[in-house]
Amino acid sequence: MGEPEAVGNGSKHALRRAVLRVRRTLTPGDLDAAAHALARQVLELPGFSTAATVAAYASVGSEPGTGPLLEALRERGVRVLLPVLREDDDLDWAVHEGPGTLVPAGRGLQEPSGPRLGPEAVTQADAVLLPGLAVDRGGLRLGRGAGCYDRVLARLAARGAQPVCAVLLYDGEVVDRIDGEEHDRRVATAVTPSGVHRFEAAEG
């Protein structure tokens, strides 16, 4: 990949537009290279490297790719949980049985076809991989606005679960400041193709 374009700081709406604009410029080669680099970074990350169960997600479009990572985890014998979007924007979970078992879902997503385990299943995970559009230096994560993963982080905190949580991003998507709201949840780690970013001020 070429040198990533910085996406700036500030309001959520402006940042979302900037990130999505930059992501639309990525070529298939860029996406593939980033996905493999991200897999290498995550597989060496403490917590993920020893996890028995990982809650992750199936990337779509120009999102940082998870395909190589999901298959590497399964090859290691890791139980991988993938989200199933519910009508109330909360997330159910099911076990990932391989790329051929993913089915099309709402909002252009892909989800596992197996039995639903319930929203609480994520609390069984030793490590949780989160999608995002950006993270700031305080660990504030910018999502797409539905609040799905803020609910996941809140559920983990409410149950006293302490899995390692990391957000997958491209280089250039760790920014100085995001204008957050009271319900926003913070994360301790972001992973980009070039490295791991840790946020000491973040919760969890």
Annotated binding-site positions: 12-16, 63, 141-149
Count Cβ neighbours within 10 Å for each residue of 28-57 and write b for 16 or more, e otherwise.
eebbeebbbbbbebbeebebbeebebbbbb
Annotated binding site for substrate: 63
Say if residues 174 and 134 touch (Cβ distance below 8 Å).
yes
Look-up of token digits 């400041």: 177
Cα separation, 139 vs 115, whole angstroms: 33
HSE-CB of 193 using CA atoms within 13 angstroms: 19
Classified as helix, coil or strand, 94 is strand
Binding-site residues for ATP sit at 12-16, 141-149
How long a stretch of residues is the chain? 204
